[in-house]
Amino acid sequence: MSNTPTRDASETSQSNGVRQSTPLLEEFLSYLAVERNFSSHTREAYRRDLEQFMAHLHVASVLEVDTREVRGYLADLARQDYKISTRNRKMAALRSFYRFLVREEYRTSNPTEELHGPKKGRTLPKVLDQTQTQQLLMALAGDDPINLRDRAWAHTLYATGLRVSEVIGIDLDKLNLKQGEVRVIGKGNKERIALLDGPAMQALESYLWIGRPELVKTPTEQALFLNAKDGNRLTARALQQRLQTLGQEVLGFSISPHTLRHSFATHLLEGGADLRVVQELLGHSTIATTQVYTHLSSQRLRKVYELAHPRAKRGTIRSADHSNKG
């Protein structure tokens, strides 16, 4: 089937692949925002991935791309040692973009239709045990505004299992310390209630009373967590960097906000929480996404069992075998 555009594509008549395709890319990103409710963070990731693809093109426009062109791009990513997860994400962006172009009748076929991303082996997320988690949180001492802020978001991450984008997105009117709840906007622009425990509420109250007033520059600012330099909303990057540094200082290895999210879910399951409850608290749309934590929890239980049960201690069994041989 021909790829000849069925709509007027005069808007794409500039000189190279990237510039030619910019209006189509902007139209696609607008579609993601308006019709698919994708977050700005996700849309920016799509933009970066698609601009990288456009810069790679050996044809004049995205409207002239065929399956061989896409396959060559994916092969280049593999040669450059991109992670499988990154290559799959870029493939998903391409697939979505070309479906849009077909739907809007810019093209009559989708060059990604018969292609599949590389298969990824199952990897279990990194988690902290409860002792490590407490060590990390207790290390955030000090009553200066930045320490109060960092202690508040760290306790909030672990108490709620929220994503970093959800935590930095919290506004003052979404927080209810009396009820121990916070309303957050998650993936797909869906709102849910996250629950706060006692330590998180105490950390948040101290920050709100003592720390935040020192950081805020504009009385009308609604963001809960603020940047020290300009008083604007704290960025995900700043939070991630602080947590990486803290992990190195306290535990000897880097951690991410998702490490605390994974730890939250694993500790709940180890404490006997129902999988459906954990799914709801994490904001997962399907139970399959949450089930990875059951594997993680079982693995940790096996480790404890092997350390604690007398007949599971391999060293004891091996020494007994040797003594019987004598």
Distance CA 16, CA 47 (A): 17
Query: From the candidates 107, 261, 262, 267, which is the catalytic residue?
Result: 261
Query: From the candidates 56, 89, 183, 187, which is the catalytic residue?
Result: 187
SS3 326: coil
Select from 19, 36, 20 the least CA-distant residue to 28.
36
Select from 20, 111, 100 the least CA-distant residue to 60.
20
Catalytic site residue 187? Answer: yes
Residue 216 C-alpha from the chain's centroid: 27
Distance CA 12, CA 15 (A): 9
Distance CA 300, CA 127 (A): 10
Indicate the burial class of 21 (C-beta count within 10 angstroms; 0-12, 13-18, 19 or more).
Answer: buried
Catalytic site residue 237? Answer: no
Whether 238 and 229 have beta carbons less than 8 Å apart is answered as no
Task: Dig out the tokens for 9 from the structure.
Answer: 């594509």
Task: Dig out the tokens for 118 from the structure.
Answer: 């590389």
Catalytic site residue 314? Answer: no
Secondary structure of 169-231 as H, E, C letters? CCEHHHEECCCCEEEEECHHHCEEEEECCHHHHHHHHHHHHHHHHHHCCCCCCCECCECCCCC
Query: From the candidates 47, 258, 300, 313, which is the catalytic residue?
Result: 258
Query: From the candidates 293, 309, 313, 318, which is the catalytic residue?
Result: 293
Catalytic site residue 47? Answer: no
Query: From the candidates 47, 89, 174, 284, which is the catalytic residue?
Result: 284
Task: Dig out the tokens for 253 from the structure.
Answer: 């290895």
Catalytic site residue 155? Answer: no
Distance CA 206, CA 140 (A): 13
Catalytic site residue 107? Answer: no
Query: From the candidates 163, 212, 262, 267, which is the catalytic residue?
Result: 163
Within a 13 Å sphere around the CA of 29, how many CA atoms are in the beta-carbon half?
19
What residues are annotated to the active site? 163, 187, 258, 261, 284, 293
